[in-house]
Amino acid sequence: MKITFKLYATLQHLLPRAAVNNAIEIDVDDDVTLHQIIEQFHVQQKDAHLVLINGTYFDHEARDQTGLLKEGDVVAVWPPVAGG
């Protein structure tokens, strides 16, 4: 299935050059986990602080689960960030 993958902040350099606006469309297996997608882009687990599917946060435990994703979903990843 096709999903959109986004990497932000100090991780954005890990995206392929084809990415536009920090996002790239990728093909993934139906039983893929969030961890597997993140590893595919060489993001270390400690750097994957915020992992969102369609804006909703998934913690480290959930990132090993299969079946979380469906066609057209958006996965977005940030390192630890804050501001105000």
Partner 1 sequence: MAWTRQILRVNLTEGTCIAEPLNMDWANQYLGQRGLATRYLVDEIDPKCDALGPDNKMIMATGPLTGTMASTGGRYSVITKSPLTGGVACSNSGGFFGAELKSAGWDMIIFEGSSPRPVYLNIENESASLEDASDLWGKSCWETDEVLHAKHQDPQMRVACVGRSAEAGCLFSAIVNDLHRAAGRSGVGTVMASKNLKAVSVRGTLGVGNIKDPARFMESIAAGKKVLAENAVTGEGLPALGTQVLMNVINEVGAMPTRNMQEVQFEGAHKISGEAMLEPRASDGKPNLTRNGGCFACTISCGRISTVDREHFSVKEKPQYWGNSGGLEYEAAWALGSDTGVDDLDALTYVNFICNEDGMDPITFGATVAAAMELFEAGVITTANTGGVELKFGSAEALCWAVEQSAVSEGFGADLNLGSRRLCEKYGRPEMSMTVKGQEFPAYDPRGIQGMGLAYATSNRGACHLRGYTVSSEILGVPEKTDPLATEGKAGLVKAFQDATAAVDSAGLCIFTTFAWSLDDISPQIDSACDGDWSPERLVEVGERIWQLERDFNMKAGLTGADDTLPERLLKDAAKSGPAKGKVCELGSMLPEYYQLRGWTTDGSLTAETRSKFGLPA
Q: How far is the CB of 15 from partner 1 (least distance, A)?
A: 11
Q: Which is nearer to partner 1, 30 or 70 (CB)?
A: 70
Chain residues that interact with partner 1, rule: CB under 8 A: 6, 8-10, 12, 21-22, 47, 49-50, 52, 54-57, 59, 74, 76, 78-84
d(CA 6, CA 3): 10
Q: Which is nearer to partner 1, 67 or 84 (CB)?
A: 84
Q: How far is the CB of 1 from partner 1 (least distance, A)?
A: 20
Decide if 24 contacts 4 (C-beta within 8 A). yes
Q: Which is nearer to partner 1, 35 or 47 (CB)?
A: 47
Q: How far is the CB of 46 from partner 1 (least distance, A)?
A: 9
DSSP string, 25-81: EEE--TT--HHHHHHHTT--GGG--EEEETTEE--TTGGG-SS---TT-EEEEE-S-
